[in-house]
């Protein structure tokens, strides 16, 4: 005797397609998450490169000869760049920060480099890189501007002031 399966096989196929579609949606969600994480990693790499570039710029400023007058004689010396330098011109640190901002500004959205001296250290600096990041950002810098991500890089150069003769 023959049994007729009126629509039962069609129902099995529809259920299999439904299960497959949920699996494909899950796979697409995982792929999207992986792409977002890779993009955030790329942005972190750019911030890391910018911070290391600032460190190299500080090194270059460290090697610039400075001059001061001692006992009526002009003496050349090498010292750590400081924000508390006496000349009325912009300090070497602010010039480093301005140059880095010009160089790296277009690499990340609304990127800003902030360079500060560590208090109580000789040749110690903190480089902070901020960029606009609506997905992973956790810092609100200016009201209504959105969320920012921050990369902090601590720099300590082995420099002491010494006179060059």
Taking the C-alpha atoms of residue 89 and residue 95, their distance in angstroms, rounded to an integer, is: 10
Q: What is the mean pLDDT of residues 60-88?
A: 66
Place of tokens 């890391």: 48
* pLDDT level of residue 23 (50, 70, 90 thresholds): very high
Taking the C-alpha atoms of residue 134 and residue 147, their distance in angstroms, rounded to an integer, is: 5
Taking the C-alpha atoms of residue 15 and residue 119, their distance in angstroms, rounded to an integer, is: 67
Predicted local distance difference test score (pLDDT) of residue 86:
46
Give percent of the chain with pLDDT exceeding 90. 25
Q: Is the dihedral of CA 74, 116, 146, 47 positive or negative?
A: positive
Taking 50 as the threshold, does the pLDDT of residue 164 lie above it?
Answer: no
- What is the overall mean pLDDT for the chain? 80
| Cβ neighbours, 10 Å, residue 97 | 22
Taking 70 as the threshold, does the pLDDT of residue 159 lie above it?
Answer: no
Predicted local distance difference test score (pLDDT) of residue 65:
64
Strand, coil or helix: 111: coil
Contacts of 154 (CB under 8 A, 6+ apart): 118, 124, 125, 126, 127
Residues 45-65: b if buried by 16+ CB within 10 A, e if exposed: ebbeebbebbbebbeebbeee
Q: Which has more pLDDT, 121 or 160?
A: 121
Taking 80 as the threshold, does the pLDDT of residue 120 lie above it?
Answer: no
What is the DSSP track for 116-153? EEPTTSSSEEEEEEEEE-TTT--EE-STTS-EEEEEEE
Q: Would you give the distance in Å from CA 159 to the centre of its chain? A: 25
Predicted local distance difference test score (pLDDT) of residue 105:
86
* pLDDT level of residue 48 (50, 70, 90 thresholds): very high
* pLDDT level of residue 9 (50, 70, 90 thresholds): confident
């Amino acid at each position: 005797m023959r049994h007729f399966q009126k629509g039962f096989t069609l129902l099995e196929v529809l259920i299999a397609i439904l299960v497959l579609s949920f699996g494909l949606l899950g796979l697409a969600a995982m792929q999207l998450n992986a792409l977002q994480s890779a993009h955030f990693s790329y942005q972190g790499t750019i911030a890391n490169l910018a911070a290391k570039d600032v460190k190299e710029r500080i090194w270059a400023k460290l090697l610039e000869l400075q001059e001061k007058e001692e006992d009526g004689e002009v003496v050349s010396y090498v010292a750590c760049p400081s924000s508390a330098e006496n000349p009325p011109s912009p300090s070497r640190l602010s010039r480093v920060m301005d140059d880095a901002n010009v160089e790296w500004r277009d690499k990340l959205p609304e990127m800003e480099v902030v360079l500060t001296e560590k208090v109580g250290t000789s040749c110690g600096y903190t480089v902070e890189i901020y960029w606009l990041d609506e997905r992973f950002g956790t810092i609100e810098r200016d009201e209504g501007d959105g969320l920012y991500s921050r990369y902090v890089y601590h720099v300590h150069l082995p420099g002491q002031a010494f006179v060059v003769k």
